[in-house]
């Protein structure tokens, strides 16, 4: 098993679906000009789409705002990653460059308006879970070394074992699972809803997998996880 959604999450969000791209044999250690072009194009297209409106008004992000509210999380204070990216673009701040693999993920996220996280995972022995946090979990914010003491049980998280990779569902990623130039294997969840944007989730997975194969010479497969099939 590579990924699973805990039943308690599906009880709260019954139409949740997560598209997965699982990739290995990735070469993320050298420049990828093709990815630079993709990200530049995605930002320009988003700038035109968002001209004159607030990013939170984009129809594509409304299901996430609704879901965050249903989970007791303010979508304004804790914006989903897709909303955070679009907000930066709408404010004219562009998007930071990290490394080719992360930049590709950001380009796909911006193009489709979907939250997308690239998680470095040891595919042979680790399982990425979407579940509620519990006592004993640890979250180390990007760039930090100490665990964040504000993490409490009951928060929706992505986790590997007791190490939280993303807090508040798709809000903020951690040092654990961070993608670096040495990363060779990843699991990429793309969150959506069967009653709102499943087709877009599937299309985003297909495009990401194809570009990982074509640009990074990786092995990549796609999966869809939802209430009737909660693990892959």
Query: What's the pLDDT tens digit per position in 129-160?
Result: 999 999 999 999 999 999 999 999 999 999 99
Which residue(s) pair with 93 in the sheet?
Answer: none
- The mean per-residue pLDDT over the stretch 22-43 comes to 98
Number of domains composing the chain:
1
66 within domain boundaries = yes
What is the residue range of 89's domain? 3-226
Report how far residue 200's alpha carbon sits from residue 197's, in angstroms, rounded to the nearest whole number: 5
**Looking at the domain assignment, is residue 49 inside a domain?**
yes
Per-residue CA distances from 121 to 57, 69, 180 (Å)? 34, 29, 12
Q: Is residue 90 included in any domain, yes or no?
A: yes
Question: What digits encode the pLDDT tens for the residues 63-93?
Answer: 999 999 999 999 999 999 999 999 999 999 9
Reference 179, options 123, 117, 126; nearest CA is: 117
CA distances from residue 40 to 34, 43, 204, 206 in whole angstroms, order as listed = 10, 5, 18, 20
In this prediction, residue 149 carries a pLDDT of 96
Mean pLDDT of 115-119: 97
Would 232 be classed as within a structural domain? no
Does 7 reside within a domain? yes
Of 227, 230, 231, nearest to 15 by C-alpha is 227
231 falls within a domain: no
For residue 156, tell me if it sits in a domain. yes
Task: Report strand pairing: 186-193 vs 119-120.
Answer: antiparallel
Query: pLDDT class for 40, splitting at 50, 70, 90?
Result: very high
**Which of the four pLDDT bands, split at 50, 70 and 90, describes residue 232?**
very high
| Predicted local distance difference test score (pLDDT) of residue 1 | 85
pTM of the model: 0.97
Output DSSP code: residue 227. Answer: T
Distance CA 217, CA 41 (A): 22
* Residue-level pLDDT at 144: 93
Contact 143, 175 (CB under 8 A): yes
- Distance (Å, whole) CA 223 – CA 65: 25
Distance CA 161, CA 76 (A): 29
- In a domain, residue 63? The reply is yes
Q: What average pLDDT does this structure show over 198-204?
A: 98
Q: CATH number for the domain including 170?
A: 3.50.40.10
* Average pLDDT of the segment spanning 160-181: 96
Q: 222 and 211 in contact (C-beta within 8 Å)?
A: no
Following DSSP, what letter does each residue of 95-156 receive, concatenated?
-----HHHHHHHHHHHHHT--B--EE--TTT--EEEEE--TT-B--BTT--SPPTT--TT-E
């Amino acid at each position: 098993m590579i990924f699973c959604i805990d039943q308690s999450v599906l009880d709260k969000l019954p139409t949740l679906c997560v598209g997965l791209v699982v990739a290995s044999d990735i070469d993320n250690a050298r420049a990828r000009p093709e990815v630079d072009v993709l990200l530049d194009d995605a930002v320009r297209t988003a700038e035109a789409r968002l001209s004159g409106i607030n990013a939170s008004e984009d129809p594509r992000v409304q299901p996430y705002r609704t879901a965050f509210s249903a989970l007791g999380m303010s979508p304004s204070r804790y914006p989903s990653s897709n909303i955070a990216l679009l907000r930066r673009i709408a404010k004219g701040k562009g998007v930071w460059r990290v490394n080719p693999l992360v930049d590709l993920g950001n380009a796909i996220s911006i193009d489709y308006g979907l939250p997308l996280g690239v998680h470095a995972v040891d595919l042979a022995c680790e399982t990425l879970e979407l579940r509620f946090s519990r006592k004993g979990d640890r979250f180390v914010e990007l760039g930090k070394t100490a665990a964040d003491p504000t993490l409490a049980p009951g928060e929706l998280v992505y986790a590997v074992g007791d190490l939280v990779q993303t807090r508040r569902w798709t809000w903020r990623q951690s040092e654990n699972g961070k993608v670096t130039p040495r990363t060779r294997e990843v699991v990429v969840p793309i969150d959506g809803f069967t009653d709102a944007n499943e087709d877009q989730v599937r299309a985003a997975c297909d495009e990401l997998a194809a570009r990982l194969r074509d640009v990074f010479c990786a092995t990549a497969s796609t999966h869809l996880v939802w209430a009737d099939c909660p693990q892959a």
